[in-house]
């Protein structure tokens, strides 16, 4: 039944797919999809991003696993070099990550876009010192207390409940929006981040942008604020002692990933086994026009 559902959704995406998203189905496994996102606007334009979707047997009760093979510095993307979590255990907000919610390298966190998938509970040990003295058993030091796994921020997107049927289209549209819509990333809480460093760098980047805009309004500066003399007018954000300086980190790291994603080596070089279903062909303008004509001709026949 699951394979049939996935095939139906995949066929539906052939005629109604989010703009800039292209998919291919594994011939041997309907639960394994390969895709490419062409980011046409927003903070990550003009990146070309390769990804893979793996649907577990329990889908849609539990979310699919989306992994990117393109190395991009992004708040929701786990770095390719390490394993991370969608969030970490934090005594202040009661978050505990289950074993099956760890993100593999390149994993994309869906916690912000689809919080209902992660609203499960887990028992967490509570130190004996935090309990009422009258309730302390003499032979025990911890008590298992149920807590919410996720503390979803009020700014999280209000997506459909998985039990009501989240479509692949909704998932793909959300994933794409996190690359081409800055306001979506602004709404992501740190608890939902796949890369906490990228999240902090993005926040610093947006703070700097807001400060530049304020300076321009107050001083009547022109559009260009990249010169050193104008950058010096932007107030520096106060940091706590020992706190990492994230200023300028997102701009450098994100641009590096974007440039690499559109390089000839990435587009036309050797591909990994995960990318074999979708490849790019280097062609001149005449060849491209011929391809377009052939596509139009085939559509007319259909």
Do residues 87 and 150 touch, judged by C-beta distance below 8 A?
Answer: yes
Q: How many domains does the chain have?
A: 1
Q: Which of 13-27, 46-60, 125-139, 201-215 has the lowest mean pLDDT?
A: 125-139
Query: What whole-number distance in Å separates Cα of residue 155 and Cα of residue 184?
Result: 9
pLDDT band at 221 (very low <50, low <70, confident <90, very high): low
Query: How high is the pLDDT of residue 6?
Result: 92
Domain of residue 281, residue span: 2-301
**Longest Cα–Cα distance in the chain:** 84
Do residues 112 and 127 touch, judged by C-beta distance below 8 A?
Answer: no
Query: How high is the pLDDT of residue 170?
Result: 96
**What does the pLDDT average to over 109-138?**
63
pLDDT in tens, 160-204: 455 557 899 999 999 999 999 999 999 999 999 999 999 999 999
**What does the pLDDT average to over 7-31?**
91
Q: Is the pLDDT of residue 267 over 80?
A: yes
Structure tokens at 236: 């520096």
**What does the pLDDT average to over 238-247?**
71
Q: Is the pLDDT of residue 224 over 60?
A: no
* CA-wise closest residue to 204 among 229, 233, 238, 255: 238
**What does the pLDDT average to over 83-92?**
46
Structure tokens at 207: 């703070």
Contacts of 122 (CB under 8 A, 6+ apart): 96, 98, 146, 147, 149
Q: Is the pLDDT of residue 64 over 70?
A: yes
pLDDT band at 33 (very low <50, low <70, confident <90, very high): very high
**What does the pLDDT average to over 256-274?**
80
Q: Domain containing 90 — which CATH number?
A: 3.10.110.10
Is 59 strand, coil or helix?
coil
pLDDT band at 125 (very low <50, low <70, confident <90, very high): very low
DSSP 179: H
- Across 9-88, the runs of DSSP E, i.e. the strands, are 21-26, 29-38, 48-54, 65-68, 84-85
Q: Is the pLDDT of residue 298 over 70?
A: yes
């Amino acid at each position: 039944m699951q394979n049939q559902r996935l095939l139906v959704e995949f066929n539906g995406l052939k005629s109604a797919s989010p703009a800039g998203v292209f998919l291919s189905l594994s011939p041997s496994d309907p639960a394994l999809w390969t895709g490419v996102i062409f980011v046409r606007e927003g903070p990550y334009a003009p990146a070309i991003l390769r990804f893979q979707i793996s649907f577990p047997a329990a889908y849609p009760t539990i979310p699919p696993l989306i992994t990117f093979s393109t190395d991009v510095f992004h708040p929701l993307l786990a770095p390719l070099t390490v394993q991370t979590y969608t969030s970490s255990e934090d005594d202040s907000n009661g978050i505990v990550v289950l074993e099956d919610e760890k993100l593999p390298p390149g994993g994309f966190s869906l916690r912000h876009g689809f919080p209902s998938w992660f609203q499960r509970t887990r028992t967490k040990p509570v130190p004996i010192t935090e309990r009422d003295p009258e309730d302390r058993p003499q032979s025990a030091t911890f008590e298992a207390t149920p807590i919410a796994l996720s503390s979803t921020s009020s700014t999280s997107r209000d997506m459909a409940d998985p039990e009501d049927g989240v479509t692949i289209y909704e998932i793909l549209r959300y994933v794409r929006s996190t690359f081409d819509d800055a306001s979506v990333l602004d709404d992501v809480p740190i608890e939902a981040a796949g890369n906490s460093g990228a999240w902090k760098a993005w926040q610093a980047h947006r703070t700097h942008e807001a400060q530049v805009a304020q300076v321009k309004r107050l001083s009547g500066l022109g559009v260009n604020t990249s010169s050193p003399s104008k950058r010096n007018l932007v107030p520096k954000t106060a940091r706590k002692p020992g706190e990492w300086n994230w200023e300028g980190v997102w701009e450098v790291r994100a641009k590096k990933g974007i440039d690499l994603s559109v390089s000839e080596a990435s587009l036309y070089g050797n591909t990994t086994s995960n990318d074999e279903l979708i490849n790019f062909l280097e062609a001149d303008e005449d060849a491209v026009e011929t391809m377009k004509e052939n596509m139009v001709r085939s559509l007319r026949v259909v």
